[in-house]
Every structure is written in C-alpha cells, then in structure tokens.
Amino acid sequence: MVCSALRRVVCVYICLARKASHAYRSYQHQAWGSRPPTAECAAQGVSGSVIELLGKSYPQDDYSNLSRKVLSRVGRNLHNQQHHPLWLIKERVKEHFYKQYMGRSRTPLFSVYDSLSPVVTTWQNFDSLLIPADHPSRKKGDNYYLNRTHMLRAHTSAHQWDLLHAGLDAFLVVGDVYRRDQIDSQHYPVFHQLEGVRLFSKHELFAGIKDGESLQLFEQSSRSGHKQETHTMEATKLIEFDLKQTLTRLVTHLFGDGLEIRWVECYFPFTHPSFEMEINFHGEWLEVLGCGVMEQQLVNSAGAQDRIGWAFGLGLERLAMILYDIPDIRLFWSEDERFLKQFHVSDINQKVKFQPLSKYPAVTNDISFWLPSENYAENDFYDLVRTIGGDLVEKVDLIDTFEHPKAELLVGIN
C-alpha cells in the first residue's frame, strides 16, 4: 500500500433561525433546508440491487456511485420554481429569444424544453456528442452513474441528438446537470445549464448575401483551426458571425449596454471552431458561456445532412451569481424565505442585489484518516463530506500530503 497524508480545512458558517416554531441550522447568509432521503434516494448500492428514481428502476453494478445527497436533489428543478433566481435567469433568456427571433408565421422560432429527465444513457451523454471512449470526461470519478449504461446527465448537450433527430432546428434546453466536483463557493455537484441550438439550410444562411445563390455549405477539404473539413469557409464564417451576434445580443440584454466582450478560442468535442465568451464585469474578465459551430458528423447522424448549425451552453448559477451578487453557490438550494423573498419581483428584468442574512464567522476543522490504496478518487471524499455535512460545509482544501516511508499506508489528515 502507498502512504499519503491529507489535511483539509472544512469551513462551516452556522447561525440559528426560527420559522414556524422549528429550528433550522444555517451557514453564512441563510438557513439551509434539505429534504430527508426517500426510498427513491438510496445511497450507493451494491451490484445486484436496484435503485428507484423518478418512477423507474435501474439495476446497480460496479459503476453505480450515486450518493444520498445528490439523489435528494433530483427532481427539485430549481429552474422551474417561480421567482427562484435561476428561474428568473431562465425566463429572461427565454423572453429574449421569443421576442428577437420569430418564425415565418410570427411565432417564436426557438422552442424551449425545460422538463426533460436528467437520467440519460451514456450514449446520449457521450457517444452522441462524439466524445471518444477514452476521453477523461467519462471517468467514474467525475460523473454520477446509475450503472454502466445510465447516468445523471453531465450537460444539457445530452439531449442535442434526440431533438435534432426529431426534426427540430432551433431550440433551448434547460435543466439540472450533475458532476462530481470539489467543495468551495463556486462548485456544487448539481447545477443548471441552458443549451441553445440553431440549424440553417443553404437558403436560410445565404439569404440576403450578394451572389448567395452561388455559395455552398459543404465541400471536401482538410480540417484547419478555422473550419471543419466538410464546411466551406464562407458558410463557417457566416455561422460564426450569426452565433457571436446572437450571444452578444443575449448578454447585452442581461447585463445592459456598453458591455465589453471578448472571444477566446477553445476546444469542445462536439463543436469546431469553438469559443468561450468573456465579459468585463466590474473590471474583471469573467467566462460566461461556451459555444461553437456544430460538428457536421453529429448533425449528419441526427438526420439533418443538408444543414449546418451552431450551439452554445451557459450555466444559470454563473449568471445569477454575477447579476445578483450571490457569493456562494449553495445559496440556490436554500429554502429560507429571507433568501427567496429577495427575488419575488413583479418584473423579471428588475435589478436585484442579494442582501446577506448572517454575520457569523467560519468554523475551521482539521481531520485525519487512512485512505485506501486502490480505487480512491478525491471526489469520493467530497461526496462523503457532502453526504454527512450537507450544505453546512463551505469549503474543503488539501493542505499537505505525506507518504510513510516504511509502513506504506495511506493516511489522510483533514
């Protein structure tokens, strides 16, 4: 066995609040409420057992790694709870797309799907998006698996292929997504994404372009940093322009005029070229979304071979924390009325600035423990902390490591 030492700091903000004659424990800015585990929210199961989730049964195997804490969040759908800050962001984005983009019959061009099940197959979450079998994003240590074939979606992109295959060419998908992650004020194992996709036919893309009838969407050439091998440069540049213009209008609607924006080239398996948008907010550059020209192989496999398109994805918590000055991602799960009432506004576009609820300082604890020599991932420890400590735990830090030179035992100090 290998010997190693871990030391972590667990910060907890605690206060007391009274409500309806019941006492609730609270951290920093609000009292935290959590639903007790139900029969459908079981802990990690052993191979051969069955887990019941959202009315369906899933046999467990060696890949099953769902914690009671995470399963207690399934079905909460914060983005659909009226006046919740995540609902406000979703409604603002939806309103913008409904008003800005109209179809031929003067009805909204984009359809919205915000109630799709978070349980997807691994094919939907990975293979449909061209994510290689050996890609690190598939790791058990980074995802929540019901079993080897089913999981809690890691991104709303898991629904892209199905909606394209159904014949849709302009849609928004909103939902809760699940990733095993570190513990701090910016990360939580459940968060919410909004996905946008739009496809264009040759006529739609080149309409209004001089001599557009002579231009083509596709060609057979070589892939470069600026385009895919099957796309013409003209089509790629027009798609890229439309995508960036669409997203610039969106963030301007959310943050106001005069916003400074920059685009950073990046990599996603399902788009090329790909970009991240950063905004200069209060003097700091912040990444707010990722986007790109959809991989034609994905579009073709869904049955839309004559079209080309773009896609983007953004985190609702990220936008809400910036817009409403919310300092900690755990606050979104609060059931404290002092938090929720701050977002009961008559106009979804009304400015709101979060007001702190508690002045109590952090409590720091150090703990130590032996670690297994095999099949251990750091996210296993984070899940354990979240299951036992709940949302009272603000942050967990690795301070030091130690390997015993003789005993070869794995030691953890927290």
Whether omega for the bond prior to residue 327 falls within 30 degrees of 0, making it cis, is no
Least reliable range by pLDDT among 71-75, 211-215, 393-397:
393-397
Helices (H), 148-201: 160-165
Q: Would you state the pLDDT for residue 352?
A: 95
Q: Would you state the pLDDT for residue 160?
A: 98
Query: Would the pLDDT of 10 be above 60?
Result: no
Least reliable range by pLDDT among 42-46, 96-100, 131-135, 303-307:
42-46
Q: Would you state the pLDDT for residue 413?
A: 52
Q: Would you state the pLDDT for residue 242?
A: 98
Please give the structure tokens belonging to residue 158.
């898991």
Round the average pLDDT of the chain to a whole number and report it. 85
Which residues, other chains included, contact 257 with Cβ-Cβ below 8 Å and sequence gap of 6+?
Answer: none
Q: Would you state the pLDDT for residue 383?
A: 77
Q: Would you state the pLDDT for residue 393?
A: 76
Q: Name the residue with higher pLDDT: 18 or 91.
A: 91
Measured CA to CA, the distance from residue 118 to residue 125 in angstroms comes to 10
Measured CA to CA, the distance from residue 302 to residue 300 in angstroms comes to 5
pTM of model > 0.75: yes
Helices (H), 148-232: 160-165, 202-206
Measured CA to CA, the distance from residue 290 to residue 276 in angstroms comes to 4
Q: C-alpha dihedral over 35, 37, 43, 45, to 10 degrees? A: -140
Name residue 229's amino acid: E
- Residue bearing tokens 């788009």: 271
Which residues, other chains included, contact 46 with Cβ-Cβ below 8 Å and sequence gap of 6+?
Answer: 60
Number of C-beta neighbours around residue 194 at 10 A? 24
Q: Would you state the pLDDT for residue 182?
A: 85
Q: State the average pLDDT over residues 24-44.
A: 33
Measured CA to CA, the distance from residue 183 to residue 382 in angstroms comes to 7
Measured CA to CA, the distance from residue 292 to residue 333 in angstroms comes to 31
Number of C-beta neighbours around residue 271 at 10 A? 26
Q: Name the residue with higher pLDDT: 3 or 66.
A: 66
Please write the tens of the pLDDT for every residue from 381-414.
777 877 777 766 767 877 777 776 665 555 455 5
Helices (H), 186-270: 202-206, 233-255
Query: Would the pLDDT of 158 be above 90?
Result: yes
